[in-house]
Structure 1
Amino acid sequence: MPPGATESPASPDAFASVRIMRAAYASAFDDDNPLAALGVGEQPEPAPPSPDWVTVEVKASSLNHHDLWSLRGVGLSAQQLPMILGCDAAGLDPSGAEVVVYAVIADSADPRGYSLLSERYPGTIAERVAVPRANVVPKPAGMSFADAACLPTAWLTAYRMLTTRGRIHEGESVLVQGAGGGVATAAVVLAAALGKRVYATSRDAAKRERIAALGATALEPGARLPERVDVVIETVGAATFDHSLKSAAFGGRIVVSGATAGHEPKVNLRRVFAMQLEILGTSMGTAEELAGLLTLCQERGISPVVDSVFPFSEVEAAFARLHSGDVFGKVVVDHTR
């Protein structure tokens, strides 16, 4: 369980409510065509199951590949359907304060010790979402709801990869594999904002051009780097892992948070022990790290990379955009439209 995750109540049955709201949800599972499993329409509003929970009025949410995996049936059972999708949101708490929702909830029923919103409890792509009071983090003044909604999953993961797990220090360098996706693009922006030398790979020439504009030296996958790097941000997996090993400096840290192109890479163990490399797994981050990320963005003037913004009335198109694989940055849903 990530430190800072808040404890969930014993049963989600208390979520039953007669109030109705609009939401996007998994109505079925379809591994071949996850968009066919997407439902949009009225769902019961989740009521706070205990005094320690609050309801947030969602102003903006953003999509993650986690939502597509949910539509494929990963992490959910048929008994949980329909399940409201979404991990990321920003909106108003019951007092009217502007907040960002932290998606990690401690969950003793899950082997990880925690679950994300939309796995056990209803998610954020809805008019309202119920969360533990400790899961609402103040939104910096001046940051838009759309930008804030990009941060709690992909950007928080990237922030933790660089700082807590990657332990990036002054003067060190970073390689980001497969830049263009949410976590990898966030890592490029954050590493550049922290003053690091950043290298990033992408198969797509147009994406390499956009990556370069964000402050990285953009390279084709497998290209030789000008130097071995101290930290590698790895979200691709088998397709890039050998290159990640070869690109790491002595004592380098390879931080892994995904495996979009294969989860069983061949690992040259001789290189691992000879170069004294660290291979570190991570996922998400703590509520305190989310607060730190929000502060960093405010202090450094960092804006999340947004691929596109869709009104809630076009949420199906937002999912189709994410599913296309052509995104660069985050897909945002504006709940005010």
Structure 2
Amino acid sequence: MKAIVLTKRGVDGVVLQDMPEPAVPSGWAKVRMRAASINRVDLYMRDSGAGITHELPLIMGVDGAGEVVEVPDGSGLSPGDKVVLYPYEFCGTCRPCLAGDQPLCHSARILGEHRHGTFAEYVALPARALVKLPDDVDMDQAAVLGVAYLTAWRMVFGKAPAGPGSVVLIQGAGGGVSYAAMQLARMAGARVIVTTTGEDKITHFRDLGIATIDYRTEDVPKAVQALTREEGADLVIDNVGDRTWSSSLKSLARGGHLVTCGATTGGHPSADIQRLFVRQLSVHGSTMGSMEEFRRLMLAFASGGLAPPIDSVFPLAEVPAAFARLEEPARLGKILIHIS
């Protein structure tokens, strides 16, 4: 089968090549992949991969959607079913799995990080990691939900859930997770404020009726205070790290919550402990979401509750060009890979 394989670190290490089709152990299913999406972690794996247990060569890609080819009896699935892939291979028997918190599985392996991923014509996964889609679903849109939208779902509806009347600040709203969080927070009835930069992005969000702060020309905490009658945001969504951490903390209302899922600009900002305890702020770490959260996300999508924007589409052979597009500041929305 054709697959995008990371053979070594760096741009030159990402190549299209033939790989054996995956084995299908008992209880597993085989999926013919139709589409997948590009995520920031793909660039991290290409350039570093530090801290992630894996071996090269590695098929890249974390999420995607396709059609069932082989499936075990009793799974509730049949050959030909359209499915979306949960990005984790989880054991189902450890304490977190039994509690329904699969991202904390003691032996979890993330596709495209710890094991072969979705930039391939076929993928094998435990059948329990597949969610069936309606026959009339948009497979392209479904394919981009597994990482960005599942991550955003837990951030918005997790330990400090947004809801009607709450104020949610989203840093760097042009990115995949942040854009998803914007859509989900609005779906929840919250008032959303976003930070971004660039004329096109600012116009896009303001046309949606969203309060928008240009982080290059405005003082973000002061702008948030002005927009909230000096109260601040109840929830801040931040996956940027060092560059935005201070402004995220300063933008919070008293008793507010900061949720983080990434540190693309560095992972060691000042903790600002005095602000934390004086204002009784909470900081929550978040990584993707559970199978139940994934099912709820898919129900919301299938019912028309949200529609992920697609920035651009590339064939499998042009994944390196898709990576370059991900790094362009003008990008808005998800980058889709057509596989077959």
Same fold (TM over 0.5): yes
Range moving further from structure 2, 35-44 or 215-224: 215-224
Tell me the SS of whatever aligns to 1:47: coil
The letter for the 2-side match of 1:42 is: D
Aligned CA distance change for structure 1 residues 46 and 156 (closer, same or farther; 3 Å): same
Instruction: Tell whether 2:47 aligns with 1:72.
Output: yes
Matched letter for residue 39 of structure 1: V
- 1:290 Cα deviation after fit: 1.0
The one-letter code sitting in structure 2 at the alignment partner of 1:307 is D
Q: Does 1:24 align with 2:4?
A: yes
CA distance in 2, matches of 1:61, 1:167: 29
Structure 1 residue 331 displacement after superposition = 0.5
Runs (4+) of structure 1 exceeding 3 A deviation are 75-79, 110-113, 323-326
Distance 1:202 1:154 in 2: 18
Whichever residue aligns with residue 159 of structure 1, its letter is W
CA–CA distance in 1 between the matches of 2:306 and 2:105?
35
Q: How many residues align?
A: 310
2:72 corresponding residue in structure 1: none
Task: Tell me the residue number matched to 1:47.
Answer: 23
* Alignment-derived partner of residue 5 in structure 1: none
Aligned residue in 1 for 2:126: 132
2: distance between equivalents of 1:70 and 1:268?
Answer: 31
Which residue of the other structure, out of 210, 235, 242, is the alignment partner of 1:238?
242
Decide whether aligned partners of structure 1 residues 79 and 188 sit closer, same or farther in structure 2, where only a CA change above 3 A counts: closer
Say if 1:165 and 1:204 are closer, same or farther in 2 by CA, change over 3 A.
farther
Q: Equivalents in 1 of 2:206, 2:285: separation in Å?
A: 27
Residue 173 of structure 1 corresponds to which residue in structure 2? 167
Given the alignment, which residue of 14, 29, 38 partners 1:63?
38
Alignment of 1:1-337 (within 5 A): 21-30=1-10, 35-48=11-24, 50-75=25-50, 80-94=55-69, 95-106=79-90, 113-221=107-215, 222-223=219-220, 224-225=223-224, 226-227=227-228, 228-336=232-340
Cα gap change, 1:255 to 1:40, in 2 (>3 Å): same
Name stretches of at least 5 consecutive residues in structure 1 with no aligned partner.
1-20
Task: State how far apart, in whole Å, the 1-side matches of 2:325 and 2:306 are.
Answer: 24
CA contact (8 A) 2:16 2:317 kept: no
TM-aligned CA distance change 1:321 to 1:278, over 3 Å: same
* 78 and 273 in structure 1: CA distance in 2 versus 1, 3 angstrom threshold: closer
> 1:17 — aligned with what?
none
Query: Which moved further from structure 2: 137-146 or 95-104?
Result: 137-146
Q: Which runs of 5+ in 2 are unaligned?
A: 70-78, 95-103
Q: Quick check: 228-237 or 211-220, which moved more?
A: 211-220
Which stretch has the larger CA shift, 300-309 or 58-67? 300-309
1:107-164 CA-to-partner distances (Å, cap 9, x unmatched) read 79x9964221122321001101011111100124432111001101011000110001
Superposition RMSD in Å: 2.1
Q: What displacement does 1:215 show?
A: 4.3
Q: Displacement, 1:56?
A: 0.7
Structure 1 CA distance for aligned equivalents of residues 53 and 256 of structure 2: 43
Q: Which moved more, 1:297-306 or 1:247-256?
A: 297-306
Helix, strand or coil at the partner of 2:265: coil
- Code of the residue aligned with 1:119 in structure 2: it is E
TM-score normalised according to structure 2 size: 0.85
Cα pair distance change 1:54/1:195, threshold 3 Å: same
SS at match of 2:161: coil
Give the direction of change, closer, same or farther, for the CA distance of 1:172–1:103 in structure 2 (3 Å limit): same
Residues 234, 258 of structure 1: 8 Å contact kept:
yes
